[in-house]
Amino acid sequence: MGVFATFVALGVIHGSGNGYNLFEDSRLASTLLLATATAIAGYSLGLPDAIATRRGIAAATVASAIFGAISVSLVALVIGAPILPRAVLGYGALALIPWQLLCWRATTDVEAASTATRVIAVVSPLSGDEISAGLANESEQRAELVATVQAADVEATGLTRPLEDLAHQLDATMIVVDQEAQLNESVVAQVANLHAEGSRVRSLSMFMEEWIGKVPLSELERTSLFFDVSELHSSAYPRLKRVFDVLFCIAALPLLAVLIVAVSIGNLFGGRGSLFFRQERVGKGGEVFEILKFRTMHSSDENHWTTADDDRITPIGTILRRSHLDELPQVVNILRGDISLVGPRPEQVDYVEELAEKLPFYNVRHIIRPGLTGWAQLKLGYTNDLSGAAEKLQYELFYLRHQGLSLDARIIVKTFRHLFQKGGM
């Protein structure tokens, strides 16, 4: 709204005395287009939360304002008519820079943003490693793991209270306890004292969900999975999600048509063969369907996990994989209802059978429709082994527990941010 208000003010100033009215239908739509393009560019570049320095914030703000102005100019070029006066467009882009900086400063507690929650984890060494890795990988909230201890190491003896002393020494502001620690009365008593002093307390499962965005398998029991899943237990969510899926496909079909031509030409020079790659994947309810992608390899033999530098990948396939454009033909799968825009990525039949035998609760991920992009892909990226699959499952269980339109929207915009910033996931 602040961006829109800025352009309204500029329009009034520019139009004083010359009959210019920003609220005409075409100009209003153009202004909204400019504000939307600027906002999308800003978020994709990391505004406001993914950039730590003021210099980075300023650079992203300038870039997003320029992108917004260019976007409107390109639309005007395509339709062959100016849709905003050059002065309004130019002054508006310049005005957005200090305005966005002001909004960022007004809505961001700089001191709090630079001070992470200081965590002592009373957990197993393995869980401590998981917490450390999760906090280093785009955690949901800022936290610093200052110590990992096991329950047996901080039991109180006499007047000695090791956990309390450690928390005071390290200025810890949060204590995380796993199931073993919760069963230790000595540890619980010390945690209660720290809680009374103002320290925050979380179970390992609660901390992993709130700060890292995953459900730890080490803390998971069958009864932990008895929660409502929006796709199954909501009447409105599945319908709305399907509407958004279809709208996305309609918007993506022209790009797919252009890519079909471009990839066909590219294959003539670097990897002759079929245009598309088809493979059986496991979908909702365990049903098998055929997924569609652009072929990216010389060989059609993909019956094992591939690696990022697989020597079978064609030159055009390298470009498609890095940009994730090889996935675009899956709009056909979305229209068919095989997959959705957001959900757990569907795996090959053989992999599912293997992983279901080795990982507890693995088949739970199949109670909802798989997706083109998902929470696990954003958090973990590409994996090609059993440990990676186990890690992804924990993020997928988090998605099941928190599934909804708001989380779906967050995943979609974060997907664009990853593509802009990292060239892929």
Residue with tokens 């998971």: 220
Helix (H) or strand (E) holding 289: strand 288-294
**pTM here?**
0.74
pLDDT for residue 178: 95
The model's pLDDT over 117-127, given as tens digits with 9 standing for 90+, comes to 999 999 999 99
The continuous run of DSSP H or E covering 36 comes out as: helix 25-44
Checking DSSP bridges between strand 276-282 and strand 200-203, what pairing results, if any?
A: unpaired
Tens of pLDDT, residues 169-208:
999 999 999 999 999 999 999 999 999 999 999 999 999 9
297 or 381: which leads in pLDDT: 297
Cβ proximity of 342 and 374 under 8 Å: yes
Q: Could you tell me where in the chain the CATH 1.10.274 domains are found?
A: 2-111
Query: How confident is residue 2, by pLDDT bands cut at 50, 70 and 90?
Result: very low
- Is residue 278 classed as helix, strand or coil in its secondary structure? strand
* Torsional class of 138: left (φ above 0), alpha (ψ -120 to 50), beta (otherwise): left
- The answer to whether 144 and 116 are in contact (CB under 8 A) is yes
In the chain, CATH 3.40.50 sits at: 116-218
**Residue % of the chain over a pLDDT of 90:** 48
Tokens standing for residue 390: 């186990």
Domain 2-111's class? Answer: mainly alpha
Q: List alpha helices for 82-225, DSSP H.
A: 86-107, 110-114, 125-136, 162-170, 179-182, 185-197, 204-207
For 103-117, 274-288, 355-369, 374-388, which range has the lowest pLDDT when averaged over its residues?
Answer: 103-117
Q: Do residues 369 and 408 touch, judged by C-beta distance below 8 A? A: no
- φ, ψ of residue 240 to 5 degrees: the values are -65, -40
pLDDT at 83 (0 to 100): 67
Q: From the CB of residue 233, how many other CB atoms can be counted at a distance below 10 Å?
A: 11
pLDDT in tens, 292-344: 999 988 765 555 556 556 677 888 888 888 888 899 999 999 999 999 999 99
237, 275, 218, 268: which is closest to 407 by C-alpha?
237
CATH class (in words) of the domain with range 116-218 = alpha beta
Q: Which one-letter DSSP state was computed for residue 211?
A: I
At 220-265, the pLDDT tens digits run 887 778 889 999 999 899 999 999 999 999 999 999 999 999 999 8
